Structure 1
Amino acid sequence: MTFNPSKIRTSMLSSSVALGIVSCVGLFSAPSFAISPVAVETIKQEKLHSNLSVHGTLYGKQDVTLTSGVAGRLTFVATPGKLVSKNDVLAKIDLLPLQLAKAKQEVMLERAKINLNFQKQELARLKRLAKSNSAAATQVDQAQNQHDLTLTDIKLAEIELKVIEDQLNRAVLKAPFSGVVSERYERTGSEINRAQPLVSLIDINNLEVRLYVPVKYLKYLSLGNELQLSAGQLDDPQQALATVTAVIPATDPRAQSFEVRADLLANHVESWASGQLVDVVVPLSSNTEELIVNRDALILRQQGVHIVKIKEDNTAEHVAVIVGKGQGDQVAIKAKDKDALKVGDRIAIRGAETLAQGQEVEIQPAL
């Protein structure tokens, strides 16, 4: 057999061209994906009841710092920790200067009344004389003026006497409500000025919790809502219930939170202290039904949050969503394209992280 090098080169060239064509066909054909197993759950629509945990502080509803009503020397001040009832004496100013001033004013008032009687008699006498032309009209006018001035002096003296009596009442500082003296600012024997702080009184029988909640939850809170309070050790926490009495819709631009106040129930106040820090569970109940999915369905990416919907032909479709509040393993969602999701749609909860758009899947039973 004759060896022909040209035929061999031609054959090799044909093989190379054929391999190249096959390679090009493989390069430009659509990529194929293996069928991926996924677990799915369906979208539900219902009202979601969730809770928010925040910190709060207890206060007496009527906590107050009481000041002196008059200037003077302290003769008594209640000690911190003293349990007092309404109208019990908390502090007392030396009454002697005020008592002397009152006695002096009473004498001045009596003197003015005596002078008024004299002026009345003198005025009546001059009026009788004026009728018989025995007294000048100017004398009558002067007597009338003296009478009126004396009457005014009596009124001023009576007012001054009431002022002194009020000061005597203010010199004895009484508890405006039942509570405990928490702080004493001055001691017995001190000379004090009017409006100077003397004691602080806390209202231990009417405690309220004050807490700050993110403003995005404002719509979920209303008067009468019940809050769960707890404090102390985790294995044996101290617990109580409180009822919302005030929702204050004002927020700090930086904190973006609003204040809520809630009264402790009467039978729960004995074992709590004013100023105590507590953990508060705030229920967030929506009045509208929302689309609910399992938290495992959420896929976090740099572009945002999305889920994978499994279509009827068992192919994957990525849907961008906005996440709402959650409770346990359930979370509310809203599709950015409002028509992309509906109740009953199948959502991948496992195996969705690596799925490509349009990839075929095999439904596996959820664990």
Structure 2
Amino acid sequence: MNNLMLTNVVPSNLTPARNKSSKVNLYSSALITFTFISAIALLNICQKANAAETTEKPAHLVSVESVKKEQVKPSIWLPANVISRKNSPISAEQTGQLLWIEDVGSQVKKGQLLAQIDDRHLKLQLARQRAQVKQHQADVDYLTGQKARFLKLREKNNSALSEYERVNKDLTIAINEVAALNISVEQTLLSLEKTVIRAPFSGNISQRFAHIGELISIGRPLVQLIDTKNLDIKIAAPISIAPFLQRGSKVMVKWNQNLLELPVRTWSQAGDQASRTFDVRLAADGVAMLAGTAVTVSLPKQSPKEAILVPRDALMLRENETYVLTIDNDQQAQKVSVLVGQGVNRWVSVTGALSVNDSVVVRGGERLQSGEKVRFIEDKKEGLVANVN
């Protein structure tokens, strides 16, 4: 009985400690509950903010067109290079010290000064020759007077015929001497003109082969002048496609991430026996490309046959692939890789997993990713357009 009573009796000195522990536990529980509720509230606020942001984001409009099938010429893609029709090393035509030369990268017009060679020795030569002309012209004037006087004497038989003939001979020699000296003067004037090197056509200075102060000899190249406006695209094409080329017909050219349509200007009528290729040139006048740029060109290789056509704007040109975006039955965008063929106005033939009447995106596809949902809206101006969710 005493043991039981001792067990049930709590010492008075332990009661305050136990009460203090209970208060701490209660405070901790309340703090945890408050933190949990605050986290839930913050999460709800973030979700609402994200939802508001999502709903406020404007939809991207894209337009689509249908794939069609028409007859086109099958083509082959070949590597090509951009070249200038006029690309010349401009050489010196006189010997002398180089006084001035145009800098690399300068754009010059036809007739503009490119280089200047020292011409002092030629000017001295010209002065000497003109003095000789005057000297021999004086002989001509004197002998002309003598011939007139001997002619009068001959009429009166006061002069020997031999004297008259000698004067006439000397006069003829003097006249010829003056003519020869005048030709020398003209040659020197031409040499003086050649000390000033001018551009034979408008273009750009791509290289410089000499420097101011150097002694220049005849025939030495001074600068490389390239016509940057009149460009050609040169292709080494297989001889087998020659029957399918037409002068003036337009073909596709792929340059960086651009597709151009350029006309066939001309081609060689003889092929290379080693490579079995011949030279084809496309006119690229006015195209903002540098000579030496590498491009690829689509040339016809067979007679016309049916092919799948898509609008040129539907092609997405990337560094490693070319593709189009189609819209499937679930209203989702799907990427389809294609190989580009011959162009027909604003359409281009392609090879890939496409069928007639497939819808391909022609505008707004830059932001549209494969697998994104779309919904269509009929618009008379824009055609068939879609809202990207």
TM range (shorter): 0.5 to 0.7
**Cα pair 1:72 1:191 within 8 Å, conserved:** yes
Give 1:284 shift: 4.0
2: CA distance, partners of 1:265 / 1:70: 35
**Cα pair 2:102 2:115 within 8 Å, conserved:** yes
- Equivalent residue for 1:242? 262
- Equivalent residue for 1:279? 296
- Equivalent residue for 2:325? none
Cα pair distance change 1:260/1:329, threshold 3 Å: same
1:12-161 map, 5 Å: 49-161=73-185
2: CA distance, partners of 1:108 / 1:265: 53
1: CA distance, partners of 2:265 / 2:350: 25
The alignment partner of 1:230 has SS state of strand
1:187 maps onto 2:211 in alignment: yes
The alignment partner of 1:222 has SS state of coil
1:309-328 map, 5 Å: 328=351
- Equivalent residue for 2:281? 261
Q: How many residue pairs were aligned?
A: 244
**Cα pair 1:50 1:327 within 8 Å, conserved:** no
The alignment partner of 2:146 has SS state of helix
1: CA distance, partners of 2:116 / 2:200: 15
2: CA distance, partners of 1:282 / 1:188: 48
Deviations 1:255-313 (A, max 9, x none): 111110111142x23xx1111111112234626x79x9xxxxxxxxxxxxxxxxxxxxx
The alignment partner of 1:87 has SS state of coil
**Cα pair 1:59 1:207 within 8 Å, conserved:** yes
The alignment partner of 1:144 has SS state of helix
Cα pair distance change 1:265/1:186, threshold 3 Å: closer
- Equivalent residue for 1:252? 272
Give 1:242 shift: 2.4
1: CA distance, partners of 2:200 / 2:258: 30
Give 1:63 shift: 1.1
* Letter in structure 2 aligned against 1:328: T
Deviations 1:208-233 (A, max 9, x none): 1111111111111121021322233x
Give 1:254 shift: 2.2
Q: Which runs of 4+ in 1 moved over 4 A?
A: none
Give 1:139 shift: 0.9
Cα RMSD (Å) of the superposition?
Answer: 2.4
TM-score under structure 2 length normalisation: 0.59
- Equivalent residue for 2:197? 173
The alignment partner of 2:262 has SS state of strand
2: CA distance, partners of 1:100 / 1:225: 59
- Equivalent residue for 1:226? 250
* Letter in structure 1 aligned against 2:123: Q
**Cα pair 1:243 1:265 within 8 Å, conserved:** no
The alignment partner of 2:74 has SS state of strand
Give 1:327 shift: 7.3
Cα pair distance change 1:327/1:219, threshold 3 Å: farther
Cα pair distance change 1:276/1:87, threshold 3 Å: same
Cα pair distance change 1:265/1:228, threshold 3 Å: farther
**Cα pair 2:228 2:290 within 8 Å, conserved:** yes
| Residue among 217, 220, 223 paired with 1:199 | 223
The alignment partner of 2:206 has SS state of strand
**Cα pair 2:240 2:301 within 8 Å, conserved:** no
Give 1:177 shift: 1.8
Deviations 1:118-155 (A, max 9, x none): 01001111222223332211111110011001110111
More helix by share: 2
**Cα pair 1:242 1:265 within 8 Å, conserved:** no
* Letter in structure 2 aligned against 1:57: N
Structure 2 residues not aligned, in runs of 5+: 1-69, 308-348, 354-389
